[in-house]
Structure 1
Amino acid sequence: MRATVRKEVVEVALRLFVEQGFDRTTVDQIAGEVGLSRASLFRYFGTKEDMVLQGLEESGRQIAEEFAARPEDERPWESLRRAFDVLTRSNEAAPERALSYLRMLQETPSLRARHFEKQLRWQEMLVPEIARRLDVSLDRPEEIRPNALAASALACLDAAATGWVACEGTVPLAVLLDRAMGTLTE
């Protein structure tokens, strides 16, 4: 039941955010459309931003799982690129929705900041497997390569997403991601 209500709130909130803009949509509007009080809505979500970003934690887990499932002999950078296919596939399945969502993230400072926090969590999930593949110990503070690889890959993902929104999806996100990540290997 709780998951069903959360899903409905997210769907209504995203629709209103796209129609009216994030800042112009009120929590009371969202609560009213789903038949909840404002207080009840905040039992499901701590903030308005959480309504938009709640799926990012699951996306991070999927990326980390995909990365861990890549072939052992594959270079970590290539494995990271392929792990991001989880996102490119979902964006290709509903490009207009994905573009609207990313545009909202990029144009709303509070969402952009929270999105960055979520991506830092993705980095934390990826680093142990990167370290294992590089055969390095995270117990050594001077061993920064796993963090550098994860952070660089996520920066490339952000650059590709920004480009994808800017070109209105005319170039596939996967192509832009290949270009961004390929730039660091040239």
Structure 2
Amino acid sequence: MSSEGLWSRTRRAAIEEISEVAMSLFLEKGFDATTIDDIAAAAGISRRSFFRYFGTKEDIVLGNLAAEGLRARDILATRPDGEPIWASLLHVLMSLDAEPADHDRLLKISEMMYGTPSLRARHVEKHLQWQADLLPEVRRRLPETGDGLDDLRATAILATAIACLDSAGKVWTERRGEVPLHDLLAAAFTAVTSTS
């Protein structure tokens, strides 16, 4: 195997190990009460080494979220061209949500995320990146109107779909996971797409 492959595997293993240590600390002490120095000490690395792997503490909790936007884009590209855009986006967002291996742990992480302003802000920032990732494909699927507002419509649809996901996640957390996230997401989509 190439040295690049080995380096990538080593880096991924280090990120996973540091993330696991950090998440344990966050869940035990609280996100805000856990410092980068605490994480570095518990992981047996220097503060400087921490910043080789993560830009912020928030990236430990939400690091995979940015990559999910690219995955969402790829899933959307596989949907039939004639499918209504809302149906396509619902399918995409449901595809990203796999059943958690550890329901209780995911619930604690979600409570931490919705209850910590810096995590919420970073969460919104990463969802804005999702919008940028998905915009060209959503825009391609919408009919041309000739009024110069096609990008606006695509952006509004995406922002609304992601707001539905966020709203469903918040309710899932508040109800302690008793209602499946898929059901909440479908209900949110129905609320914004149904005509009265």
The normalised TM-score by structure 2 is: 0.87
Separation in structure 2 between the aligned mates of residue 179 and residue 24 of structure 1, nearest angstrom: 36
Deviations 1:91-115 (A, max 9, x none): 4443222222211111110110011
Separation in structure 1 between the aligned mates of residue 155 and residue 165 of structure 2, nearest angstrom: 15
Q: Which residue of 1 aligns with 2:26?
A: 17
Q: What residue ranges of structure 2 are gaps of 5+ in the alignment?
A: 1-9
- Of the three residues 46, 49, 53, the one matched with 1:40 is 49
* Residue 170 of structure 2 corresponds to residue 170 of structure 1: no
Q: Which residue of 2 aligns with 1:96?
A: 104
Q: Which residue of 2 aligns with 1:108?
A: 116
User: Per-residue deviation at 1:49?
Assistant: 1.4
Separation in structure 2 between the aligned mates of residue 84 and residue 92 of structure 1, nearest angstrom: 15
Partner letter of residue 39 of structure 1? R
Separation in structure 1 between the aligned mates of residue 188 and residue 89 of structure 2, nearest angstrom: 13
User: Per-residue deviation at 1:68?
Assistant: 1.4
Q: Which residue of 1 aligns with 2:70?
A: 61
Deviations 1:155-186 (A, max 9, x none): 00011000000100000000000000110122
Q: Which residue of 2 aligns with 1:26?
A: 35
Partner letter of residue 93 of structure 2? F
Cα RMSD over matched residues? Answer: 1.6
Q: What residue ranges of structure 1 are gaps of 5+ in the alignment?
A: none
Partner letter of residue 51 of structure 2? F
Question: Is contact 2:139-2:150 (8 Å) kept?
Answer: no
Deviations 1:129-160 (A, max 9, x none): 011011449xx466411101100000000110
Deviations 1:16-52 (A, max 9, x none): 1112110111212211121101111112112111222
Q: Which residue of 2 aligns with 1:87?
A: 96
How many residues align? The count is 183
91-100 vs 19-28, greater mean Cα deviation:
91-100
Deviating beyond 4 angstroms after TM superposition, the runs of 4 or more aligned structure 1 residues are none
Separation in structure 1 between the aligned mates of residue 103 and residue 97 of structure 2, nearest angstrom: 10
User: Per-residue deviation at 1:87?
Assistant: 3.1
Partner letter of residue 97 of structure 1? R
Question: Is contact 1:131-1:146 (8 Å) kept?
Answer: yes
